[in-house]
Amino acid sequence: MDDALSTGVLIVGAGPYGLSAAALARERGMDTQVVGRPMGFWHEHMPEGMLLRSGTDWHLDAADVHTFEAYLCERGLSRDEAVPIPLALFRDYAEWFRRVKQVPVRLEHVLDIAQREGGFDAELTDGGRIRAQAVVAAPGVGYFQQMPGWAAGVPEARATHSGDLVRFDALAGRSVLIVGGRQSAYEWAALLAEHGGGRVDIVHRHPVPRFEAVSWKFFDDCVEGTVQVRGWWRRLTATERKAIITQCWEAGRGTLEPWLPARLNPEVVHVWPNAEVVHARGGEGDDGVRVMLSGDESLTVDQVIFATGYAPDLARVPYLAGLHDRIATREGFPVLDENFQTSVPGLYLTGFAAAQDFGPFLGFVKAAPASATILVRHLQARLG
């Protein structure tokens, strides 16, 4: 007997992109199932006390009704009271959004997706199966952690990617090296200092970033263009794309939040700009990790944190393993059509994985409603 649950659309992932797409699909009357943990990455890989860089106009609702600002209004909070936005506040908004949109989520993980005649079969961790006519996968950046080659010289117990360090009390009184010089590196240094860190060294190859307020309003035109013009990003000239990428880089990486410097206790936090790690070794038993820097400087630390970001590599998404040989990729990204569809008909990918074909803003919450609009529009036409 076939005991698989049948649905029109299976959405794998319940982060911002998955929830946004699911809410719109259900509003349009589409039979939709969501599998994952609501805002799982935001709960498991972002630390308490983290502050977001987004504005209050960033939200999940493609219908533009149940926005973050509508949630603040319901809570009796003004925009000024919410900025900078605490991580916990946006997570609460996402849960409110899920409830008011009546989006049920099956709290399992997808182990494997197989293509079948007329659609796909998904195997779940609880042994269940879902048969779907179409699949929308929204893999979070947690699959794509990037580490430098010399990290192999650091014992596993003493090496942590910033995305895996969400609690800091165990490092109280300890010496920590943070490799990287962007927002996560400096914010994690501030959190370590506030949780009793003994000494924190930040090492990065570039000068100390600027700390000043930036405007993300340029995203508005990008997102609007994505919705209104089919294939907007790929229709831009190379010069136009480069200009937008440069804006994203300057806002997101070249400039850090102005509230950070006051939290970087100079007695604890030490910055090594224009430097890089040459090699690292040791760290067995009670010995620290000895790290050699360019310029013949050296540090001995208890823990190394890699705030080295994320790089696309679709092969790291385990539930797509059975389809990898049929999903066309380019530089680690899936090759997508103008509707987020992969080379496997009926399989769609969104979020960070779509940034190459839709623009760098697909790595930000801001573009979730636009992605949902395009996806659902095509799914409706495809499934009838």
Please tell me whether residues 292 and 318 are part of one structural domain: no
Whether 182 maps to a domain, the answer reads yes
Please tell me whether residues 290 and 154 are part of one structural domain: yes
CB 133 within 8 A of CB 383: yes
Across 276-361, where does the E strand assignment appear? Answer: 277-282, 289-293, 298-301, 303-306, 329-330, 333-334, 347-349
Whether 161 maps to a domain, the answer reads yes
Please tell me whether residues 53 and 133 are part of one structural domain: yes
Please tell me whether residues 343 and 362 are part of one structural domain: yes
Of 289, 306, 323, the one marking the end of a domain is 306
Q: CA 276 to CA 45: how far, in whole Å?
A: 26
What's residue 1's pLDDT?
39
Q: CA 368 to CA 340: how far, in whole Å?
A: 12
Give Cβ neighbours of residue 38 (< 8 Å, ≥ 6 apart).
14, 19, 94, 95, 98, 105
Q: What is the CATH number of the domain that holds 336?
A: 3.50.50.60
Please tell me whether residues 57 and 111 are part of one structural domain: yes
Please tell me whether residues 91 and 66 are part of one structural domain: yes
Of 306, 324, 340, the one marking the end of a domain is 306
What's residue 284's pLDDT?
67
DSSP letter string over 143-171?
GGB---GGGGGS-GGGEEEGGG----GGG
Whether 237 maps to a domain, the answer reads no
Please tell me whether residues 167 and 288 are part of one structural domain: yes
The amino acid sitting at 90 is: F
Q: CA 38 to CA 286: how far, in whole Å?
A: 39
Closest CA relative to residue 119, chosen from 260, 7, 247: 7
Please tell me whether residues 46 and 139 are part of one structural domain: yes
CB 96 within 8 A of CB 71: yes
Q: CA 205 to CA 272: how far, in whole Å?
A: 8
What's residue 180's pLDDT?
97
Please tell me whether residues 82 and 10 are part of one structural domain: yes
What's residue 192's pLDDT?
97
Q: Is 313 exposed, middle or buried (0-12, 13-18, 19+ CB in 10 A)?
A: middle
For residue 82, what are the domain limits?
Answer: 5-144+310-383
The pair of three-digit structure tokens given for residue 362, joined into one six-digit string: 């697909």
Whether 325 maps to a domain, the answer reads yes
Number of compact structural domains in the chain: 2
Please tell me whether residues 269 and 324 are part of one structural domain: no
Whether 180 maps to a domain, the answer reads yes
Please tell me whether residues 30 and 105 are part of one structural domain: yes
Ordered per-residue pLDDT tens for the chain, 384 residues? 368 899 999 999 999 999 999 999 999 999 999 999 999 999 999 999 999 999 999 999 999 999 999 999 999 999 999 999 999 999 999 999 999 999 999 999 999 999 999 899 999 999 999 999 999 999 999 999 999 999 998 999 999 999 999 999 999 999 999 999 999 999 999 999 999 999 999 999 999 999 999 899 999 999 999 999 999 999 999 999 999 999 999 998 899 999 999 999 999 999 999 999 999 988 666 789 999 999 889 999 999 999 999 999 999 999 999 999 999 999 999 999 999 999 999 999 999 999 999 999 999 999 999 999 999 999 999 997
Give Cβ neighbours of residue 25 (< 8 Å, ≥ 6 apart).
9, 11, 32, 372, 375, 376, 379
Please tell me whether residues 378 and 326 are part of one structural domain: yes
CB 32 within 8 A of CB 19: no
Whether 250 maps to a domain, the answer reads no
Q: CA 362 to CA 107: how far, in whole Å?
A: 25
Of 306, 335, 364, the one marking the end of a domain is 306
